[in-house]
Amino acid sequence: MTDASRILIIDYGSQYTQLIARRVREARVYSEIHPPTRSLEWIRAWAPAGIILSGGPNSVYGENAPTADRALFDVAPVLGVCYGMQLIAQLHGGEVKRGAQRQYGRDQIRPTIESALFRGFSADESTSVWMSHGDHVEHAPPGFRITAAGPGNPVSAFEHASKAIYGVQFHPEVAHTPRGAELLANFLFEVCGARPTWTPGAFIADEVARIRLLVGNAQVICGLSGGVDSSVAAALVHRAIGDQLTCVFVDTGLLRLNERAQVEQTMRQHSGMTLVTVDAGRQFLTALDGVEEPEAKRRAIGHTFIDVFEAATAAAGTHAKFLVQGTLYPDVIESFSPTGGASVTIKTHHNVGGLRPDMQFALIEPLRELFKDEVRNVGRELGLPEEMVGRHPFPGPGLAIRILGTVDASSLAALRQADAIYLEEIRDANLYDEIWQAFAVLLPVRSVGVMGDERTYDNVVALRAVTSTDGMTADWYPFPHDVMARISNRIIREVDGVNRVVYDVSSKPPATIEWE
């Protein structure tokens, strides 16, 4: 992103950090999340218009608690949220104290004095906010003044008397703080002077110029899955370099029902791209033979994918130097540690991990700055059809990671049919667009059942459907009972080898959306 109006978010480990980034971007201001180990020199060079210090699970007095350089507060205006506010207080000589018990939930606050952060708020009426903390600021630091207070938090917000340093004990980024977006907008525009220039059109213009400069006259290959991410990535690169791009669609044998035909028709008819289809189902099944562990599946699929790409490139005679991947910003965020140390790997994403270090291609990842909803908006701006950009996410490893245990042709056939029935019923009920992602999972267990007069001992299918904005957090979708009944009855009746259907009612966190 070349525009100077950008916000640096320093992640101290809060579960809500990604929401801060989303809220800033919803205000059409670019933001990035980075760990607190970024050096002061790096931050100055990045030249943010403002800095937001996120919340986090630590106490500022805890051993090895993440901190900040005092000189950070001279780089740009700073807003501390929860732990970020407590860190500001500690670094400036205030008192942070452990509460008798953790405060979690709604609270009411009122502005105490006029403040740029609370412009538009009235001291005559209280505002609902969301608290989530164990420590709190007992006394504001010297040179700071309290700008908001509540019955549970006498120091709910403060600001420096002469510098652009602000802190709030609550979380303005969550939906449970109704006027949180307004408060953040005050920080962005009133305090930081940021400009709302982060739009799909501006992103496309910047990225097209960057890709042209990077690629020059070289040939580029794109692994096209037909999902939203790879389709938008391909369309964006095609906008930049035209016929220098060759899209390779690999039929891995791990796709949803009729997916190959849909991809070929859509991309050739609507986009006019050069598309090569490779039938590699046997190669992938061979690579997955006997593999049960999820990370091992992803690695096997990733390595086989690159083998297929290299062979397809050689066969097409393109001599490509670059490979396009649809890596998104949540993939990047989930692949580093908030504290900058050894990252706890949630999963090796197909677009971040699992690729051979000796592969011949340099990567182009045109979407790695974007959240999923931003990708969809870019796709619309590029003219892709709504039935493509509105599709539910589908993982690169395909149905292989929705079969818990080993993958074979019969399990793929059963899952593919169950998944198709599930999505068909969701569409027929006009619920598809209400759901972020819906899919079936084949479990490695069997259960006893009765069909007709016969006892059965067959497979169990789990159904998953979630609502979300960007996939970073998600809630399970509450299906109407009649819809769920139709789905279950059809799957058990029509899919051979399945006699039981269960529904996943886990949210993210603590669960992930995919099961593997």
Residue 137, SS3?
strand
Per DSSP, the residues of 436-499 read SEEEEEEEEEEEEEEETTEEEEEEEEEEEEEE-SSSSSBEE----HHHHHHHHHHHHHHSTTEE
Give CA separation, 385 vs 226, 271, 377, in Å: 12, 10, 11
Where are the extended beta strands (E) located within 140-292? Answer: 144-149, 157-160, 165-168, 220-223, 245-251, 274-279
131 neighbors 144 (Cβ within 8 angstroms): no
24 neighbors 192 (Cβ within 8 angstroms): no
- Which sign does the torsion angle of CA 380, 395, 488, 497 carry? positive
Which residue among 32, 34, 82, 381 is the active-site one? 82
Q: How far apart are the first and last CA of the chain?
A: 33
Strand-strand pairing, 157-160 and 498-503: unpaired
Which residue among 32, 173, 425, 516 is the active-site one? 173
Catalytic residue status for 34: no
- Contacts of residue 398, defined as CB under 8 A and 6 or more positions apart, other chains included, come to 252, 254, 255, 256, 301
What strand order describes the sheet that includes 157-160?
30-34, 6-10, 50-53, 78-81, 165-168, 157-160, 144-149, 95-111, 127-139
Return the H-helix or E-strand segment holding 107. strand 95-111
Give CA separation, 63 vs 70, 83, 137, in Å: 19, 15, 19
- Contacts of residue 483, defined as CB under 8 A and 6 or more positions apart, other chains included, come to 425, 426, 429, 431
Pull the structure tokens for residue 417: 């049919």
Per DSSP, the residues of 336-395 read S-TTSSS---S---TTTSS--TT-SPEEE-TTTT--HHHHHHHHHHTT--HHHHTSPP--
Which residue among 92, 160, 171, 349 is the active-site one? 171
Catalytic residue status for 171: yes
**434 forms bridges with which residues in the sheet?**
none
The C-alpha torsion from 264 through 267 and 268 to 273, rounded to 10°, is -130
Distant-in-sequence contacts of 310-314, Cβ < 8 A, 24+ apart: 310/359, 310/360, 311/278, 312/221, 312/248, 312/250, 312/276, 312/278, 313/221, 313/246, 313/248
Where are the extended beta strands (E) located within 115-228? Answer: 127-139, 144-149, 157-160, 165-168, 220-223
* Enzyme catalytic residues: 82, 171, 173
